[in-house]
Amino acid sequence: MKELTWVEISREALIKNIRQFREIVGPDRILCPCVKANAYGHGLVGCSKTFLEAGADWLGVNALYEARVLRDSGIDAPIYILGYVPLDSLEEAVELNCRLVVYNKKIIEKLAELTEKAGKMLNVHIKVETGNNRQGVLMDDIVDFAKYIKSFEKIELEGIATHFANIEDTTDHSYAEHQLNKFMKAVSLLESAGINIPIKHCSNSAATIIFPETRFDMVRPGISCYGMWPSSETYVSYVKEVGGDFSLHPAFNWKAKIAQIKSIPSGEYIGYGCTYKTTHQTRLGIIPVGYYDGYDRGLSGRAHVLVNGKRAPLRGRVCMNIIMIDLTDIPEAEIENDVTLIGKNGDEKITVEQFAEWADTINYEIPTRVNERIPRMYL
């Protein structure tokens, strides 16, 4: 049974994207797609299974609860947790055999106690601060921190990572180069101290696609696994600096049904705040989707949806659970017809990027904010 609104995810598109990443990174590098934030809104379990089938090696989540959902769904592939795991949740992280990003001695101390008690090894990856100033160990502390980790028998220092701050928002890559140099400096400081860490990684989608030298031993692409360019700047950089046939396949198609159609005379107000007044006899469609579902209120008066391959503009404000659309020029539209909010419909399409422009934000935010409760169907 379909819901009032649902998201159709193209498995074919997801598979093509992952296979392209595999092609550019080669067979030996670890391919770790990020499936955090409900797989960028595309559905955590469905995407994770599809990515693994398509040849991904690891999965990157943000939090322990996401790792738990994956393990409960039967996934036993390596799971790398990119975000913070609090002290009182570390026991479960050991139990679920997760790989953790680390930058606090307190966490290491607790992990040492837990791994000893459980008689189990745990893999950790040091996050180095190179200029993003989020999570990470400062350069001056890196050797001391690594030695501290190495002093515990059951904690394996498997990886070292960093994350770029300014690689997708610009075609000027000097800051990314500066961060890459700092990352390599951290690696060489550790090597000089006799500490060789097997898995070095720092590449998100933009870095993986544009800068082969950032790929090291593992890559962590997110947005592009779902078929989106991180930004138009990244696309321009790719075309100008790399050139090739790397093409992305968007997987996200958000749909709803028409709940009612009625004829409204000219001169009537529509919706809260009476912000829109009809200028003609209007065939008005009522669609049961609103800002609770993730259809941003900022789209009021700016967006259109697609019905029978034609554009139908929004009228009035986006409500919590309803939007109103003008079907005057789509006389064949009927109750329960499908409406496309994002995706293709006939010869027309609404891209996530178009939607993001209407909402005055970036493409990342659009699918991740489509309510998790809305079913994701894999076609």
* 230 lies in the binding site for ligand PLP (CB under 6 A): yes
Query: Quick check: 34 binds ligand PLP (CB under 6 A)?
Result: yes
**Active-site residue, 272 included:** yes
Q: Which is nearer to ligand PLP, 5 or 205 (CB)?
A: 205
Q: Cα-Cα-Cα-Cα dihedral of 272, 273, 277, 281, to 10°? A: 20
One of 42, 49, 68, 163 touching ligand PLP (CB under 6 A): 163
What length does the chain have? 379
Residue list 73-102, contact with ligand PLP (CB under 6 A): 82
Q: CA-CA distance, 127 to 85, in Å (whole number)?
A: 14
Establish whether 235 is a catalytic residue: no
Which two structure tokens, joined as six digits, stand for 41? Answer: 């809104």
Question: Which listed residue (61, 155, 197, 223) binds ligand PLP by CB under 6 A?
Answer: 223
Cβ proximity to ligand PLP: between 70 and 319 the closer is: 70
Q: Does 205 bind ligand PLP (CB under 6 A)?
A: yes
Find out whether 150 and 141 touch, Cβ atoms under 8 Å.
no
Judged by CB under 6 A, the residue of 41, 46, 136, 222 near ligand PLP is: 222
What is the total count of residues that contact ligand PLP (CB under 6 A)?
11
* Strand residue runs (E) in 21-154: 30-31, 59-61, 79-81, 98-102, 122-127
What letter would DSSP give residue 34? B
**E strand map for 151-223:** 155-161, 199-203, 218-219
Q: Does 215 participate in binding ligand PLP (rule CB under 6 A)?
A: no
What does the alpha-carbon distance between residue 178 and residue 280 come to, in Å, rounded to a whole number?
Answer: 58
Write down the catalytic residue from 36, 49, 127, 255.
36
Piece of the chain touching ligand PLP by CB under 6 A; list 7-15, 215-223, 274-282, 312-320 = 215-223
Side-chain-facing half-sphere of 341: CA atoms under 13 Å: 29
Q: How far is the CB of 214 from ligand PLP (least distance, A)?
A: 12
Task: Please tell me which residue in 65, 272, 277, 292 is annotated as part of the active site.
Answer: 272
125 part of the interface to ligand PLP, by CB under 6 A: no
Q: What three-state secondary structure class fits 242?
A: helix
Amino acid at position 67, single letter: A
CB nearer ligand PLP, residue 225 or residue 350: 225
Listed in sequence order, the residues at least 6 apart from 32 whose beta carbon sits closer than 8 Å to its beta carbon are 56, 57, 58, 59, 60, 80, 201, 218, 219, 220
Positions annotated as catalytic residues are: 36, 272
Residues that bind ligand PLP (CB under 6 A): 34, 82, 163, 204-205, 220-224, 230
